[in-house]
Amino acid sequence: MAFADQYRHPSDLPPRLPLFPLRGAILLPGSTLPLNIFEPRYLEMIEDVMSGSRMLGLVQPVGSDDEESPPGNTVPLRRIGGAGRVTSYQELDDGRIAIALTGISRFEIVGEAESGRPYRTATVSYDRFAADLTRGLGEELVDRPRLIEALRTYLEEHNLKTDWSVIDRAPSEFLVNALCVMCPYGPEEKQALLEANDLKSRAEVLVALAEMESATRGGSGGTLQ
């Protein structure tokens, strides 16, 4: 991710972000999240983002509503979200826009800002998560064998195959963050993964969730679903 080299300090990141509230979705540094954009307010947001910093903030709404992206601009939001850069953009024939959002850093919402646009915008601070901008920080502290075992059990239980040579070569930071983003846990579990203090803590939460769910289902090992 050569573009990530331009983000070395919190001051390199935009102090205001357009917000995309999306329940059950998180974004972590180095991970990539594909999104299909179809609501008019968010289509307008993506057009604005692409003509500016290419950055937006993904944040979960508060509450137990089943809607992925609640309508209106008054739904309470989590204070911690993930800032990402649009790294892929495709206009589709049906009017949707397909993007890939690559995580740069987590942020804390300081306050919402009036923008005159149909989507929400917030003033944010990255200071609490400055370590997110140092790639690979804490990788040596991750219990990689335990993480790999959880992944292996998941794949076996669901009759899925993977290229283990690719996984073996993947940095622990990428592996942990990518699994957290893609794992099908609920909003509360996702937020716990997002807010884990560091990479080691995040890996521990991920594996603990996997092992608890496996035990509930009567499995013998960890699973990522």
Band the pLDDT of 222: cuts 50, 70, 90. Answer: very low
Task: Number of helices (H) and strands (E) in the chain: give both, helices first.
Answer: 6, 6
Count how many domains the chain has. 2
Q: pLDDT band at 220, cuts 50/70/90?
A: very low
* Dihedral (Cα; 200, 154, 61, 121), 10-degree rounding: 70
Verify that 190 and 211 share a domain, yes or no.
Answer: yes
Mention every residue, 6+ apart, whose C-beta is less than 8 A from residue 51: none
Q: Is residue 225 part of a domain?
A: no
pTM beyond 0.75, yes or no: yes
Give the span between the Cα atoms of 38 and 180, in whole angstroms.
Answer: 25
Say whether both 23 and 117 belong to one domain: yes
Task: Write out the residue range of the structural domain in which residue 100 sits.
Answer: 2-133
129-157: pLDDT as tens digits: 999 999 999 999 999 999 998 888 777 77
Answer whether residue 221 is part of any domain: no
Q: Which residue in 102, 94, 108 sits closest to 43, CA to CA?
A: 94
Domain boundary among 110, 133, 156: 133
Question: Does the pLDDT of residue 122 top 70, yes or no?
Answer: yes
Q: Which residue has the higher pLDDT, 172 or 69?
A: 172
100 in the same domain as 17: yes
Only one residue has tokens 């646009």, namely 117
CATH number at residue 60: 2.30.130.40
